[in-house]
Amino acid sequence: MKDICPVCEKIVGLKHVKEKETFNIRGENIEIDVDYFKCLECDGEFEDPKSENDPIEDAYIKYRKQNCMMQPYEIRDLRKRYGLTQIELSNLLGWGGATLSRYENGALQDQAHDNLLQLINSPQGMLRLVEKNGACLVPDKRELLKRELSVMADDSCSFSDMFKQRYGNYSPDIYSGFLELTFNKFFEVVKFFTMNGEYKTKLLKLLFYSDFKHYKEHSVAITGARYAHADHGPVPDNYEHYLATLIHDQKAIEVREVDFINYVGEKMFSTIQPNLNVFSEGELLTLALVRDAFKDFTATEMRSFSHKEKGYQDTSGGDLISFGYSDYLQI
Protein backbone atom coordinates (compact mmCIF):
# COMPACT_ATOMS: atom_id res chain seq x y z
CA MET A 1 0.00 0.00 0.00
CA LYS A 2 1.04 3.61 -0.53
CA ASP A 3 0.45 6.54 1.75
CA ILE A 4 2.24 9.49 3.33
CA CYS A 5 5.05 8.55 5.67
CA PRO A 6 5.08 11.03 8.60
CA VAL A 7 8.83 10.39 9.05
CA CYS A 8 10.12 11.32 5.59
CA GLU A 9 6.91 13.14 4.58
CA LYS A 10 6.70 11.41 1.20
CA ILE A 11 4.11 9.29 -0.53
CA VAL A 12 5.80 5.91 -0.39
CA GLY A 13 5.16 2.22 -0.05
CA LEU A 14 4.28 1.11 3.48
CA LYS A 15 4.48 -2.30 5.11
CA HIS A 16 1.96 -3.29 7.78
CA VAL A 17 3.86 -5.06 10.55
CA LYS A 18 2.35 -7.21 13.31
CA GLU A 19 4.51 -8.50 16.14
CA LYS A 20 4.68 -8.96 19.88
CA GLU A 21 6.14 -6.30 22.16
CA THR A 22 7.06 -6.65 25.81
CA PHE A 23 6.23 -3.93 28.34
CA ASN A 24 7.66 -3.88 31.84
CA ILE A 25 4.78 -3.05 34.15
CA ARG A 26 5.83 -2.75 37.79
CA GLY A 27 8.52 -5.37 37.40
CA GLU A 28 6.42 -7.78 35.33
CA ASN A 29 7.00 -8.39 31.62
CA ILE A 30 3.69 -8.11 29.80
CA GLU A 31 3.65 -9.30 26.17
CA ILE A 32 1.17 -7.54 23.89
CA ASP A 33 0.34 -7.87 20.19
CA VAL A 34 1.15 -4.58 18.45
CA ASP A 35 0.89 -3.45 14.85
CA TYR A 36 2.45 -0.52 13.05
CA PHE A 37 3.57 0.68 9.62
CA LYS A 38 7.11 0.68 8.27
CA CYS A 39 8.21 2.99 5.48
CA LEU A 40 9.87 1.02 2.66
CA GLU A 41 12.00 4.02 1.73
CA CYS A 42 13.30 5.53 4.99
CA ASP A 43 12.66 2.52 7.29
CA GLY A 44 10.72 4.84 9.62
CA GLU A 45 8.15 3.19 11.87
CA PHE A 46 4.88 4.73 13.05
CA GLU A 47 1.53 3.72 14.49
CA ASP A 48 -1.65 3.61 12.43
CA PRO A 49 -3.24 7.04 13.07
CA LYS A 50 -6.68 5.50 12.49
CA SER A 51 -6.18 2.81 15.13
CA GLU A 52 -7.90 3.23 18.50
CA ASN A 53 -5.68 0.62 20.17
CA ASP A 54 -3.15 1.85 22.72
CA PRO A 55 -0.46 -0.78 23.46
CA ILE A 56 0.23 0.67 26.91
CA GLU A 57 -3.48 0.56 27.77
CA ASP A 58 -3.65 -3.04 26.51
CA ALA A 59 -0.66 -3.90 28.69
CA TYR A 60 -2.36 -2.35 31.73
CA ILE A 61 -5.50 -4.37 31.05
CA LYS A 62 -3.51 -7.61 30.81
CA TYR A 63 -1.52 -6.72 33.95
CA ARG A 64 -4.73 -6.09 35.93
CA LYS A 65 -6.18 -9.38 34.71
CA GLN A 66 -3.09 -11.36 35.68
CA ASN A 67 -3.05 -9.74 39.13
CA CYS A 68 -6.83 -10.00 39.74
CA MET A 69 -7.23 -6.21 39.85
CA MET A 70 -10.32 -4.25 38.87
CA GLN A 71 -10.55 -2.91 35.35
CA PRO A 72 -11.57 0.75 34.70
CA TYR A 73 -15.08 -0.20 33.57
CA GLU A 74 -15.55 -2.28 36.73
CA ILE A 75 -14.57 0.71 38.89
CA ARG A 76 -17.06 2.91 37.03
CA ASP A 77 -19.78 0.27 37.36
CA LEU A 78 -19.08 -0.09 41.08
CA ARG A 79 -19.55 3.65 41.65
CA LYS A 80 -22.71 3.82 39.54
CA ARG A 81 -24.27 0.89 41.41
CA TYR A 82 -24.18 2.98 44.55
CA GLY A 83 -25.43 6.13 42.80
CA LEU A 84 -22.32 8.13 43.75
CA THR A 85 -20.44 10.82 41.85
CA GLN A 86 -16.67 10.62 41.46
CA ILE A 87 -16.24 13.34 44.07
CA GLU A 88 -18.55 11.60 46.56
CA LEU A 89 -16.80 8.24 46.28
CA SER A 90 -13.36 9.88 46.37
CA ASN A 91 -14.30 11.66 49.59
CA LEU A 92 -15.58 8.44 51.12
CA LEU A 93 -12.32 6.69 50.22
CA GLY A 94 -10.20 9.60 51.42
CA TRP A 95 -8.52 9.96 48.02
CA GLY A 96 -7.50 13.08 46.11
CA GLY A 97 -10.08 14.53 43.76
CA ALA A 98 -8.39 13.37 40.54
CA THR A 99 -7.37 9.88 41.65
CA LEU A 100 -10.65 8.05 41.03
CA SER A 101 -11.19 9.87 37.74
CA ARG A 102 -7.76 8.72 36.51
CA TYR A 103 -8.48 5.11 37.46
CA GLU A 104 -11.85 5.16 35.70
CA ASN A 105 -10.15 6.53 32.58
CA GLY A 106 -7.42 3.90 32.37
CA ALA A 107 -4.62 4.86 34.75
CA LEU A 108 -3.16 1.86 36.58
CA GLN A 109 -4.18 1.85 40.24
CA ASP A 110 -1.75 0.90 42.98
CA GLN A 111 -2.31 -2.31 44.92
CA ALA A 112 -3.48 -0.62 48.14
CA HIS A 113 -6.15 1.34 46.30
CA ASP A 114 -7.26 -1.76 44.41
CA ASN A 115 -7.59 -3.67 47.69
CA LEU A 116 -9.91 -0.96 48.99
CA LEU A 117 -11.98 -0.98 45.80
CA GLN A 118 -12.29 -4.77 46.04
CA LEU A 119 -13.45 -4.39 49.64
CA ILE A 120 -16.27 -1.96 48.83
CA ASN A 121 -17.33 -4.04 45.84
CA SER A 122 -19.52 -5.86 48.35
CA PRO A 123 -22.49 -4.10 49.97
CA GLN A 124 -21.18 -5.11 53.39
CA GLY A 125 -17.82 -3.46 52.75
CA MET A 126 -19.42 -0.34 51.32
CA LEU A 127 -21.77 -0.09 54.28
CA ARG A 128 -18.82 -0.16 56.68
CA LEU A 129 -17.14 2.62 54.69
CA VAL A 130 -20.27 4.79 54.72
CA GLU A 131 -20.71 4.25 58.44
CA LYS A 132 -17.09 5.30 59.01
CA ASN A 133 -16.66 8.18 56.53
CA GLY A 134 -20.27 9.02 55.59
CA ALA A 135 -20.10 12.51 57.13
CA CYS A 136 -18.70 13.72 53.79
CA LEU A 137 -22.06 12.99 52.11
CA VAL A 138 -25.14 15.18 52.38
CA PRO A 139 -27.38 13.76 55.14
CA ASP A 140 -30.28 12.69 52.91
CA LYS A 141 -28.04 10.81 50.49
CA ARG A 142 -26.05 9.21 53.31
CA GLU A 143 -29.16 7.86 55.02
CA LEU A 144 -30.66 6.63 51.74
CA LEU A 145 -27.42 4.84 50.85
CA LYS A 146 -27.20 3.25 54.30
CA ARG A 147 -30.75 1.94 53.99
CA GLU A 148 -30.06 0.52 50.54
CA LEU A 149 -26.81 -1.10 51.63
CA SER A 150 -28.47 -2.65 54.66
CA VAL A 151 -30.96 -4.29 52.31
CA MET A 152 -28.18 -5.29 49.92
CA ALA A 153 -26.24 -6.94 52.75
CA ASP A 154 -28.83 -9.71 52.46
CA ASP A 155 -27.33 -12.08 49.87
CA SER A 156 -30.79 -12.70 48.42
CA CYS A 157 -30.79 -9.15 46.99
CA SER A 158 -29.05 -8.00 43.84
CA PHE A 159 -27.80 -4.66 42.62
CA SER A 160 -30.83 -4.48 40.36
CA ASP A 161 -32.94 -4.62 43.53
CA MET A 162 -30.99 -1.65 44.86
CA PHE A 163 -31.60 0.32 41.68
CA LYS A 164 -35.30 -0.42 41.94
CA GLN A 165 -35.32 0.82 45.52
CA ARG A 166 -33.45 3.99 44.56
CA TYR A 167 -35.55 4.94 41.56
CA GLY A 168 -38.81 3.35 42.53
CA ASN A 169 -39.68 -0.28 43.09
CA TYR A 170 -43.26 -0.41 41.89
CA SER A 171 -45.51 -2.14 39.41
CA PRO A 172 -47.44 -0.22 36.74
CA ASP A 173 -50.43 1.50 38.33
CA ILE A 174 -52.44 4.73 38.35
CA TYR A 175 -49.47 6.57 39.89
CA SER A 176 -47.12 5.61 37.05
CA GLY A 177 -49.58 6.06 34.21
CA PHE A 178 -50.00 2.28 34.02
CA LEU A 179 -46.49 1.96 32.63
CA GLU A 180 -43.34 0.34 34.02
CA LEU A 181 -40.61 2.86 34.70
CA THR A 182 -38.48 3.18 31.55
CA PHE A 183 -35.19 4.89 32.43
CA ASN A 184 -34.12 5.25 28.83
CA LYS A 185 -37.23 7.15 27.81
CA PHE A 186 -37.15 9.35 30.91
CA PHE A 187 -33.53 10.32 30.21
CA GLU A 188 -34.27 11.02 26.53
CA VAL A 189 -37.19 13.27 27.50
CA VAL A 190 -34.85 15.27 29.75
CA LYS A 191 -32.37 15.64 26.88
CA PHE A 192 -35.21 16.70 24.58
CA PHE A 193 -36.25 19.58 26.83
CA THR A 194 -32.68 20.71 27.57
CA MET A 195 -31.37 20.81 24.00
CA ASN A 196 -31.34 24.61 24.11
CA GLY A 197 -31.00 24.90 27.88
CA GLU A 198 -33.70 24.84 30.55
CA TYR A 199 -33.99 25.82 34.21
CA LYS A 200 -34.51 22.89 36.56
CA THR A 201 -37.81 24.15 38.01
CA LYS A 202 -39.35 24.48 34.56
CA LEU A 203 -37.79 21.21 33.33
CA LEU A 204 -39.45 19.23 36.14
CA LYS A 205 -42.83 20.70 35.20
CA LEU A 206 -42.32 19.91 31.51
CA LEU A 207 -41.72 16.29 32.47
CA PHE A 208 -44.92 16.25 34.53
CA TYR A 209 -47.02 17.76 31.74
CA SER A 210 -45.56 15.42 29.10
CA ASP A 211 -46.50 12.26 30.96
CA PHE A 212 -49.87 13.54 32.17
CA LYS A 213 -50.85 15.01 28.78
CA HIS A 214 -50.01 11.76 27.01
CA TYR A 215 -51.99 9.80 29.58
CA LYS A 216 -54.94 12.17 29.12
CA GLU A 217 -54.96 11.53 25.36
CA HIS A 218 -53.85 7.88 25.19
CA SER A 219 -54.56 6.36 28.65
CA VAL A 220 -50.86 5.57 29.16
CA ALA A 221 -47.87 7.68 30.17
CA ILE A 222 -44.57 8.05 28.27
CA THR A 223 -41.92 7.25 30.88
CA GLY A 224 -43.58 5.37 33.74
CA ALA A 225 -42.21 7.88 36.25
CA ARG A 226 -44.26 8.79 39.31
CA TYR A 227 -44.90 12.41 40.26
CA ALA A 228 -45.12 13.96 43.69
CA HIS A 229 -46.31 17.18 45.31
CA ALA A 230 -43.37 19.52 46.07
CA ASP A 231 -43.33 23.11 47.28
CA HIS A 232 -42.51 24.41 43.81
CA GLY A 233 -45.07 22.25 42.02
CA PRO A 234 -45.42 18.65 40.77
CA VAL A 235 -42.07 16.92 40.19
CA PRO A 236 -40.88 13.41 39.27
CA ASP A 237 -40.56 11.37 42.45
CA ASN A 238 -36.85 10.90 43.32
CA TYR A 239 -35.89 13.30 40.53
CA GLU A 240 -32.58 14.10 42.29
CA HIS A 241 -31.31 10.61 41.47
CA TYR A 242 -32.36 10.83 37.82
CA LEU A 243 -30.60 14.18 37.34
CA ALA A 244 -27.50 13.02 39.23
CA THR A 245 -27.22 10.04 36.87
CA LEU A 246 -27.51 12.28 33.80
CA ILE A 247 -25.12 14.93 35.10
CA HIS A 248 -22.43 12.96 36.90
CA ASP A 249 -22.56 9.43 35.50
CA GLN A 250 -23.66 9.76 31.89
CA LYS A 251 -22.23 13.29 31.44
CA ALA A 252 -25.32 13.91 29.28
CA ILE A 253 -26.36 17.12 31.05
CA GLU A 254 -24.18 20.14 31.79
CA VAL A 255 -25.20 22.62 34.49
CA ARG A 256 -24.25 26.26 33.92
CA GLU A 257 -24.65 29.16 36.33
CA VAL A 258 -26.67 32.15 35.14
CA ASP A 259 -26.28 35.47 36.95
CA PHE A 260 -29.37 37.42 37.93
CA ILE A 261 -29.58 40.65 39.90
CA ASN A 262 -30.02 39.11 43.34
CA TYR A 263 -29.07 35.47 42.86
CA VAL A 264 -27.38 32.88 40.66
CA GLY A 265 -29.57 30.37 38.83
CA GLU A 266 -28.70 27.00 37.28
CA LYS A 267 -29.55 26.16 33.70
CA MET A 268 -29.26 22.64 32.33
CA PHE A 269 -28.01 21.87 28.82
CA SER A 270 -27.95 18.46 27.14
CA THR A 271 -24.49 17.57 25.84
CA ILE A 272 -25.85 14.59 23.91
CA GLN A 273 -28.61 14.82 21.33
CA PRO A 274 -31.75 12.92 22.38
CA ASN A 275 -32.42 9.63 20.66
CA LEU A 276 -35.92 10.29 19.35
CA ASN A 277 -36.17 6.78 17.91
CA VAL A 278 -37.19 5.47 21.35
CA PHE A 279 -40.50 7.37 21.09
CA SER A 280 -43.62 6.56 19.13
CA GLU A 281 -45.08 9.14 16.77
CA GLY A 282 -47.78 9.95 19.32
CA GLU A 283 -45.22 10.44 22.08
CA LEU A 284 -43.18 12.80 19.92
CA LEU A 285 -46.31 14.82 19.16
CA THR A 286 -47.02 15.09 22.89
CA LEU A 287 -43.47 16.27 23.65
CA ALA A 288 -43.65 18.88 20.90
CA LEU A 289 -47.07 20.04 22.08
CA VAL A 290 -45.86 20.51 25.66
CA ARG A 291 -42.68 22.25 24.53
CA ASP A 292 -44.62 24.71 22.36
CA ALA A 293 -47.34 25.29 24.96
CA PHE A 294 -44.80 26.51 27.52
CA LYS A 295 -42.05 27.94 25.30
CA ASP A 296 -42.66 31.52 26.50
CA PHE A 297 -43.13 30.64 30.18
CA THR A 298 -40.49 31.60 32.71
CA ALA A 299 -39.66 29.14 35.49
CA THR A 300 -41.68 31.29 37.92
CA GLU A 301 -44.68 31.40 35.59
CA MET A 302 -44.43 27.65 35.07
CA ARG A 303 -44.44 27.10 38.81
CA SER A 304 -47.52 29.30 39.31
CA PHE A 305 -49.34 27.59 36.44
CA SER A 306 -48.67 24.11 37.82
CA HIS A 307 -49.93 25.12 41.27
CA LYS A 308 -53.39 25.49 39.72
CA GLU A 309 -53.56 21.84 38.70
CA LYS A 310 -56.27 19.96 40.59
CA GLY A 311 -53.91 17.04 41.13
CA TYR A 312 -51.52 19.41 42.89
CA GLN A 313 -54.18 21.23 44.91
CA ASP A 314 -55.74 17.99 46.17
CA THR A 315 -52.42 16.66 47.48
CA SER A 316 -49.84 17.87 49.98
CA GLY A 317 -46.08 17.68 50.51
CA GLY A 318 -44.58 14.44 49.23
CA ASP A 319 -47.90 12.85 48.17
CA LEU A 320 -47.93 11.01 44.87
CA ILE A 321 -50.25 12.50 42.25
CA SER A 322 -52.63 10.07 40.55
CA PHE A 323 -52.76 10.11 36.76
CA GLY A 324 -56.51 10.14 37.24
CA TYR A 325 -56.12 13.91 37.62
CA SER A 326 -55.06 14.13 33.97
CA ASP A 327 -58.75 14.67 33.11
CA TYR A 328 -58.43 18.09 34.77
CA LEU A 329 -55.14 19.05 33.12
CA GLN A 330 -55.06 22.68 31.99
CA ILE A 331 -53.55 21.84 28.61
- Divide the 331 residues of the chain into consecutive groups of 10 and give the mean pLDDT of each group: 82 84 91 84 77 79 90 87 88 90 92 92 90 92 84 58 60 91 89 94 96 96 95 91 80 80 75 89 96 95 96 94 96 93
pLDDT for 310 = 97
Q: How many residues does the chain have?
A: 331
Q: How far apart are CA 16 and CA 21, in angstroms?
A: 15
pTM over 0.75: no
Predicted confidence at residue 82, as pLDDT, reads 84
DSSP string covering 199-252? EHHHHHHHHHHHHHHHHHHHSS-SS---EEEETTEEEETTHHHHHHIIIIIS--
CB 227 within 8 A of CB 237: yes
pLDDT given for residue 260 in this prediction: 61
Question: What is residue 259's predicted lDDT score, i.e. its pLDDT?
Answer: 65
Residue 29, beta-bridge partner list: 24
CA angle, residues 55, 61, 97, in degrees to nearest 5: 105
Closest CA to 298 of 190, 206, 235: 206
Task: Write the DSSP assignment of 89-134 as a string of letters.
Answer: HHHHHT--TTHHHHHHTTPPPPHHHHHHHHHTTSHHHHHHHHHHHG
Q: DSSP H helical segments within 134-199, as ranges?
A: 139-152, 159-167, 183-193
> Contact at 8 Å (CB) between 268 and 254?
yes
How does pLDDT run across 126-141, given as a tens digit for each residue?
Answer: 999 999 999 999 888 8
Distance of CA 217 to the CA centre of its chain: 31
